[in-house]
A and B are shown apart, each in its own frame.
Chain A
Amino acid sequence: MNTLYRRRRFWNRFHFSMSLLVTLAGLFVLGWILFTTLKFGVAALNLSLFRLDTPAPGNVGGLRNAFVGSLLLVGLAVLVGTPLGVLAGTFLAEFSRGKRLGMVVRFFNDILLSAPSIVIGLFAFSIVVYPMGHYSGWAGAFALTIIFIPVVLRTTDEMLQLVPGSLREAALALGAPHWKMVLRVTYRAAAAGILTGILLALARISGETAPLIFTVLNNQFWSTDLNRPIASLPIAIYQFAMSPYADLQALAWAGALVTVLFILILSLGARYVLRRAGRS
């Protein structure tokens, strides 16, 4: 009896010590990555980063055209993806409750959500770049939109499901048509949650590199023409990090730091929005 008790106590302690150990190891490695980004990024950070375009090796330069290109691509994806994602989420939560069609869309949306982004890039290449005959900003924005929509769809669906049915019934009982009920009552009740979804989706596409490689390609010079190859931050980081030149690698780290900070701020902002809405 005594040995059995001891053995059980030993295994209990053993497993929880291992658990503590691997948690510390995991946190250490992840902290290491953040520290690396911070160390190399801050060292390379200066004002010309935002004032100059991407340089040739050996020249002084910044990432201005890459920032602007990314802003255009991501902005376009948000502009197109938000209404589509929110409407699709609305369809699931408001118009197809308990129906098989809704379940099917929800299921395949979850699949699309986790599909490899490089495959989405191949898709964008096949149906935008290939017929057009050249790489373009449009193709990249298209790929980012496809990655953006499932995230917004899912959060919108989940957040609308949380709105109490009594609110809907009250609006309908007052004689509001269904569409007005959704726009004025349920959207308002779920606004913070939907905004969270949009912010998280924005965070997700801001660092996406793989779907841009063979859709927007790259452009070393200043351009805002979405019909041509255009510079973008992730691709600039990728190319400079892969280059053998120390000054270009430093630029890549500066770009990586800006991207990471942007994404962390967005993620924290999304949490803050959701928490504040939950309190009121």
Chain B
Amino acid sequence: MLASSPGSPRSGVGDVVFRNLARFAAFSVLLVLLGVAVTLFWRSWPTFHHFGWSFLWTARWDPGRELFGGWIPIAGTLISSAIALLVAVPVAYGVALFVTNLAPAWLGRPVGSAIELLAAIPSIVFGMWGLFVFAPWFAKLEPWITAHVGTLPAIGIFFRGPPMGIGMLTAGLVLAVMVLPFIASIMRDVFTVVPPMLRESAYALGATSWEVQRHVVLAYTRSAVLGGIFLGLGRALGETMAVTFVIGNAHQLSASLLKPGNSIAALLANEFAEATTPLHQSSLLALGFLLFAMTLIILIGARLLLWRLENAQGKSGL
């Protein structure tokens, strides 16, 4: 490429200055990401040193006696995110299917735009809706859940509990609402890059719309759909405000999803500014580091999966 040959004879002082400024800015991004990893690890080292690996699976959290273990918020983060994905992924898939396949263009486009706009709404608004509107409504539904779902064998134990409205299940559902627009818009983008020729060939062979979606579109976009789900998971794991309002912020982990619990992000939001002893602060930072490590792995996976489709397409835009 002519425009980027670095040693071209005409490159004067202006070029050198401009290129190095740009390079510095680009490197600062790498530096920040590296800085986050190193700083958080360094600041949480006292905790890892003091408690060792058992920090990961110890449940006690006693700031008074300086005994810290991360199991409850770690498990809470994973459980609330799992509930969110279980609910949001099928719905997002349905929405993307509707927008790309079922709706006529005059309807599909505005619905798609509306969903994209909703992805921009700050999470604190989802949290407030969860606390003031959804939780009171859900509290009325919970006795019914306990009575009907709670009596089922095997899964019943998860759905028995006090009808408080807030708790792990509520947090998962509010999270689901939050990541829904996000996953749906990625799936929609992914479905629209399928070459029309592939769809049309399948239709010409007599396939129904669903069969085209199932065997052609999904087969072509499988890795990117998975990538979109991973991105949603990354978002759900680290989501703070939507969860803090409704998870209950109780340091307990119970089989019942109706009971309050805690997540890493919610614990940080609640305790970090008040943590006074170095070990308490370091333990919270250690949880932050673990959260960062978890999302980092998931996001790297997501990006690699999404890039696979982009490279197959030979263009960017996802």
Q: What is A's interface to B at a CB cutoff of 8 Å?
A: 8-9, 11-12, 15-16, 18-23, 25-27, 29-30, 32-34, 36-37, 40, 83-85, 87-88, 90-92, 94-98, 102, 104-105, 107-112, 114-120, 122-123, 125-127, 130, 135, 146, 149-150, 153, 158, 161, 165, 168-169, 172, 175, 177-183, 200, 203-204, 206-210, 213-214, 217, 234, 237-238, 241-242, 249, 252-253, 256, 259-260, 263-264, 267-268, 271
Contact = CB atoms under 8 A, between A and B. Distances in A.
B22 A94 contact: yes
Contacts of A108: 29-30, 33
Given A26-B180, A158-B316, A16 B240 contact: no
Interface of B: 1-4, 6, 8, 10-12, 14-15, 17-19, 21-30, 32-33, 35-36, 39-40, 43, 90-92, 94-95, 97-99, 101-102, 111, 113-118, 120-129, 131-133, 177, 180-181, 184, 208-211, 213, 231, 234-235, 237-241, 245, 265, 268-269, 272-273, 285, 288, 291-292, 295-296, 299-300, 302-303, 316-317
10 contacts: A23-B98, A91-B26, A108-B29, A111-B33, A111-B303, A118-B240, A126-B40, A177-B10, A237-B128, A242-B245
A242 B241 CA distance: 11
Contact of B237 (A112, A116, A153, A169): A116
Given A116-B239, A122-B288, A179-B18, A94 B117 contact: no
B129 A33 contact: yes
Contacts of A181: 3
A11 to B, nearest CB: 6
Contacts of A23: 94-95, 98-99, 111
Contact of B208 (A12, A135, A182): A12
Given A169-B3, A177-B15, A122 B22 contact: no
A102 B6 CA distance: 14
Nearest to A237: B124
Given A150-B29, A209-B123, A264-B120, A126 B39 contact: yes
Given A18-B94, A114-B299, A116-B295, A238 B4 contact: no
B242 to A, nearest CB: 10
B272 to A, nearest CB: 5
A16 B131 CA distance: 33
Contacts of A15: 97, 210, 213
Nearest to B182: A114
Nearest to B103: A23
Given A9-B208, A97-B1, A25 B29 contact: no
Nearest to B177: A29
Centre residue among A16, A165, A204, A237 by max chain B CB count within 10 A: A16
B25 A116 contact: no
Contacts of A116: 234-235, 237-240, 265, 291-292, 295
A130 to B, nearest CB: 8
A241 B116 CA distance: 26
Contacts of A264: 117, 120-121
Given A11-B210, A111-B33, A122-B285, A209 B177 contact: no
